[in-house]
Structure 1
Amino acid sequence: MAVLRIDASILGPNSASSALADLVEQSLTSAKPGTAFVRRHLGQNPIAADVWATAIGAGYTPADQRSDAQNAAVALAGELADELRNADAAILALPFYNYGVSQHVKTWFDVAMAGGENGEKFLEGKPVVVLTTRGGAYGAGTPREGWDHNTDYLRRVVGDIWGADLTVIEREFTLVGVNPALDQFTETANLMHKTAQEAAADAGRAIADKI
């Protein structure tokens, strides 16, 4: 039994999304000691941006005529796909950057899908927690309502295409306390943080009950 954990923050120990993922993991392992994890950190070890195109190009090239780069890309695509197929559950810490899905997360999605069949449901029925964090606020009534081009995409791919039993945990205003212009939102940000932490702990226990 193994849980796939994917992190994608570029902020290292200051990552809000990884901190929430840690809470999911801690809650899960407290409820189910000895759980094994397969880990991949896309922020620390990103997949090269050209791997996806190279893997796709290999599909149009006879196997005995493929370049070393094509063979390596196909192998990595298969590895990523197998990590998803073989997982019993997943914890995906995928923060919002520049109003959408970051380049390195999008590359992971694309390369993994290149390693499977078209529309393959890698996570069919498996419990998956997606944790996504945003520095500002993008909800209804805010000046940037509609600018979040990240969260719906994550729901579509992980839930609808990959078939996961999906829980999405969101935390906004992570830049409160960092950007003085947001100091007026301190109380709201603290409440959002606490709510996300509680949801993360609950999600870990829920995964433990399902695997």
Structure 2
Amino acid sequence: MTAHTVLRIDSSARHQDSVSRRLTDQVIERLAPETVVTRDLSNTLPLIDEAWIGANFTPADKRSPEQRETLALSDSLIDELKAADTLVIGLPIYNFAAPTTFKAWVDLVARAGVTFRYSEAGPEGLLTGKRAILVVTSGGTAVGSEIDFASGYVKHVLSFIGITDIEVVTADRLAVDPEGTVNKAEEQVARLAA
């Protein structure tokens, strides 16, 4: 599957010496997309609040100008998702979970009637036909272990909104063997289908 448009999502608080950013660079280089849209979550997103919830649950044709403005960033983030063929997500594990900035992004893009809908069969994701590559890094948490509350969460959220073609590049337990861990992750990147 060729990636024409990649949405790159960085969630590391680090810019210098960030392993997730460096590996995400390599994934992008491997995919060689026509277009890359970058969303850096380290610049913090607002948390949803009562005004946001009120605007979100007001029917679109009945929203006030203030409510439309309240949802403008959420709409923009969702437009980025819709336009992308592939998501490349740099996901460091902080204290066993995804960074709070990533959770803030999820809260802004997981919207009933927009990115998923409820049906008689249960929730149905609306962003189908996309690929996601997670670049998961950690200092000591083994990805997929019982103390990893990040990678499973992100896979579930993506599937919930319709993105089920998910691959994981793992650079976990960097505090134990940084060089070996990065080398293994780079091998995984090299095996990714462009």
- TM class by shorter chain equals 0.7 to 0.9
Task: Kindly state the Cα deviation for residue 192 of structure 1 after the two structures are TM-superposed.
Answer: 2.1
Task: Kindly state the Cα deviation for residue 72 of structure 1 after the two structures are TM-superposed.
Answer: 2.4
CA–CA distance in 2 between the matches of 1:23 and 1:165? 20
Change in CA separation of 1:122 and 1:130 when aligned onto 2, cut-off 3 Å: farther
Contact 2:125 2:159 in 1 (8 A): no
Aligned to 2:39: 40
Deviations 1:181-201 (A, max 9, x none): xxxx43xx4322211111123
Aligned to 2:88: 91
| Residue of structure 2 aligned with 1:100, choices 79, 97, 100 | 97
Aligned to 1:193: 182
Aligned to 2:120: none
- 1:2-151 correspondence runs (5 A): 2-29=5-32, 35-43=34-42, 45-50=43-48, 53-61=50-58, 66=64, 68=66, 70-114=67-111, 116-118=115-117, 119=123, 121-138=125-142, 146-151=146-151
Q: Percent identity, aligned pairs only?
A: 30
CA–CA distance in 2 between the matches of 1:83 and 1:190? 34
Aligned to 1:182: none
1:94 aligned counterpart, secondary structure: strand
Gaps of 5+ in 1: 177-184
Structure 2 letter corresponding to 1:194 = N
Task: Kindly state the Cα deviation for residue 59 of structure 1 after the two structures are TM-superposed.
Answer: 3.1
Structure 2 letter corresponding to 1:148 = D
CA–CA distance in 2 between the matches of 1:155 and 1:171? 17
Change in CA separation of 1:162 and 1:61 when aligned onto 2, cut-off 3 Å: closer
Deviations 1:4-54 (A, max 9, x none): 11101001121111111011011122xx6xx111111001x2111236x53
TM-score (norm 2): 0.82
Deviations 1:129-174 (A, max 9, x none): 011111113368xxxx522111110111123543231101121122
TM-score (norm 1): 0.76
2:27 aligned counterpart, secondary structure: helix
CA–CA distance in 2 between the matches of 1:139 and 1:132? 8
User: Which structure's residues are more often strand, by fraction?
Assistant: 2
Change in CA separation of 1:120 and 1:38 when aligned onto 2, cut-off 3 Å: farther
CA–CA distance in 1 between the matches of 2:159 and 2:115? 16
Deviations 1:55-74 (A, max 9, x none): 32113447666473x33231
Contact 2:124 2:160 in 1 (8 A): no
CA–CA distance in 1 between the matches of 2:100 and 2:179? 29
CA–CA distance in 1 between the matches of 2:172 and 2:9? 20
Task: Kindly state the Cα deviation for residue 122 of structure 1 after the two structures are TM-superposed.
Answer: 5.0
Structure 1 letter corresponding to 2:150 = N
Higher Cα Rg, which structure: 1
